[in-house]
């Protein structure tokens, strides 16, 4: 009886070991992928990039210690990168990585790595990589704005939502003006994106109508006067979308804005009081 139990346990152990090996192999694959991007590897970018876009420090990112909080944060980002197109991709990573969100130096490392990777993705000129750069850009915006207000308030704030909206407006074009501007502003190297950005500056600023979801010149769109985020190409589109917009997105954005204003006032009063 005892020996049979031992055999059974051995079997269980083997199974658990196999599962652990599989998880570890998977993790390593993801880890290698983002490290390769951080170095700007030729087979990913399609050409050799010598520039580190101002983030030379991270050329040796392979030296990142295995258990650095930013490493496991980047693992999750990259594991989900291709599935999270069109969504707020970074919300799920919040609870599991407090050491990145609440530590400014870790947060900066993560942002810098993502900017470096996103810039190389834009340079690759492949559509799929433009989409990845856009997904990364959304995460960067949220990380940059994150403060004590709490994650959901930051995600639903006017500033963050309108920045994300404008990036999305050009999502499908390969020479996205806003995306190029986004990364150009954040890299300290001037040569890499410069010509692409200059070229794209002749493109019109585009935006998506929240109603008909068509892409229009941004200048012709008007914005919802309540939330100041949703934008429409016509009165008809806004009226038709209102029943869906009001009790969903618009209410969430408006209440986030009110709470934010309230907290700012409280902070101001308590700052003046001290
Ligand atoms: Zn560069
Ligand atoms: Zn429309
Ligand atoms: Zn609205």
Judgement on whether residues 86 and 123 belong to the same structural domain of the protein = yes
**93: three-class secondary structure by DSSP:** helix
Closest ligand to the CA of 119: 1
The pLDDT tens digits for 167-222 are: 877 655 556 888 888 999 998 887 888 888 888 877 788 888 999 999 888 899 99
Q: How far apart are CA 103 and CA 105, in angstroms?
A: 6
Judgement on whether residues 83 and 125 belong to the same structural domain of the protein = yes
Residue 243 reports pLDDT greater than 90: yes
Centre a 10 Å sphere on the Cβ of residue 50 and count the other Cβ atoms it contains. 7
Question: How far apart are the CA of 226 and the centre of ligand 3, in A?
Answer: 5
Q: What's the mean pLDDT in 231-249?
A: 95
Judgement on whether residues 188 and 164 belong to the same structural domain of the protein = yes
Closest ligand to the CA of 196: 1
- How long, in residues, is the chain? 274
Write phi, then psi, for 213 (nearest 5 degrees): 60, 20
Is 241 part of any domain?
yes
Is 63 part of any domain?
yes
Question: How far apart are the CA of 227 and the centre of ligand 1, in A?
Answer: 37
Return residues with CB closer than 5 A to ligand 1 (ion).
Answer: 51, 53, 189, 192
At residue 45, the pLDDT reads: 79
Residue 266 reports pLDDT greater than 90: no
Judgement on whether residues 61 and 103 belong to the same structural domain of the protein = yes
Residue 27 reports pLDDT greater than 80: yes
Judgement on whether residues 213 and 199 belong to the same structural domain of the protein = no
Is 9 part of any domain?
no
Residue 43 reports pLDDT greater than 70: yes
Judgement on whether residues 43 and 104 belong to the same structural domain of the protein = yes
Return residues with CB closer than 5 A to ligand 3 (ion).
Answer: 224, 226-227, 230, 250
Judgement on whether residues 143 and 126 belong to the same structural domain of the protein = yes
Closest ligand to the CA of 56: 1
Judgement on whether residues 52 and 164 belong to the same structural domain of the protein = yes
Judgement on whether residues 198 and 210 belong to the same structural domain of the protein = no
Looking at 203, 229, 251, the residue that finishes a domain is 203
Is 3 part of any domain?
no
Residue 121 reports pLDDT greater than 70: yes
Question: How far apart are the CA of 245 and the centre of ligand 1, in A?
Answer: 41
Looking at 185, 203, 221, the residue that finishes a domain is 203
Judgement on whether residues 44 and 168 belong to the same structural domain of the protein = yes
Residue 210 and residue 161 in contact, taking contact as beta carbons nearer than 8 Å: no
At a CB cut-off of 8 Å and minimum separation 6, what does 50 contact? none
Residue 273 reports pLDDT greater than 90: no
The pLDDT tens digits for 48-91 are: 777 778 776 654 555 566 778 898 899 989 988 887 665 666 87
- Count: domains in the chain: 2
Judgement on whether residues 186 and 217 belong to the same structural domain of the protein = no
Closest ligand to the CA of 235: 2
Closest ligand to the CA of 118: 1
Residue 114 reports pLDDT greater than 60: yes
Is 190 part of any domain?
yes
| pLDDT, mean over the chain | 85
Is 76 part of any domain?
yes
Question: How far apart are the CA of 184 and the centre of ligand 1, in A?
Answer: 9
Question: How far apart are the CA of 120 and the centre of ligand 1, in A?
Answer: 8
Residue located via tokens 């990845």 = 132
Question: How far apart are the CA of 148 and the centre of ligand 3, in A?
Answer: 25
At residue 63, the pLDDT reads: 56
Is 164 part of any domain?
yes
Distances (CA, A) of 272 to 2, 52, 262, 264: 73, 44, 15, 12
Looking at 176, 203, 230, the residue that finishes a domain is 203
- Residue-number span of the structural domain to which 221 is assigned: 205-274
At residue 58, the pLDDT reads: 55
The set of long-range contacts for 82-90, using a CB threshold of 8 Å and a minimum separation of 24, is 82/132, 84/135, 85/131, 85/134, 85/135, 88/138, 88/142, 88/155, 88/164, 89/135, 89/138, 89/139, 90/138, 90/139, 90/142, 90/143
Judgement on whether residues 33 and 144 belong to the same structural domain of the protein = yes
Is 11 part of any domain?
no
Question: How far apart are the CA of 166 and the centre of ligand 2, in A?
Answer: 16
Closest ligand to the CA of 158: 3
């Amino acid at each position: 009886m005892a020996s049979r139990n031992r055999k059974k346990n051995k079997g269980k152990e083997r199974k658990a070991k196999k599962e652990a090996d599989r998880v570890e192999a998977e993790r390593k694959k993801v880890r290698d992928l983002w490290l390769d991007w951080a170095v700007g590897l030729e087979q990913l970018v399609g050409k050799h990039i010598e520039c580190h876009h101002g983030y030379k420090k991270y050329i040796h990112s392979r030296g990142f210690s295995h258990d650095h909080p930013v490493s496991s944060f980047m693992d999750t980002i990259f594991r989900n990168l291709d599935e999270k197109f069109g969504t707020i991709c970074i919300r799920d990573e919040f609870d599991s990585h407090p050491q990145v969100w609440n530590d400014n130096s870790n947060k900066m490392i993560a942002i810098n790595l993502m900017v470096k990777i996103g810039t190389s993705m834009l340079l690759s000129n492949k559509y799929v990589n433009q989409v990845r750069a856009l997904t990364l850009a959304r995460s960067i915006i949220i990380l940059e704005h994150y403060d004590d207000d709490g994650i959901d308030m930051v995600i639903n704030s006017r500033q963050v939502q309108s920045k994300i909206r404008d990036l999305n407006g050009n999502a499908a074009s390969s020479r996205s003006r806003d995306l190029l501007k986004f990364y150009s502003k954040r890299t300290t190297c001037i040569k890499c994106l410069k010509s692409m950005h200059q070229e794209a500056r002749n493109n019109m600023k585009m935006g998506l109508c929240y109603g008909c979801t068509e892409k229009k010149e941004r200048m012709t769109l008007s914005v919802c006067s309540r939330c100041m985020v949703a934008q429409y190409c016509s009165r008809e589109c806004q009226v038709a979308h209102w029943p869906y917009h009001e009790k969903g997105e618009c209410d969430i954005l408006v209440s986030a804005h009110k709470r934010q204003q309230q907290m700012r006032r409280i902070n101001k009063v308590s700052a003046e009081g001290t």
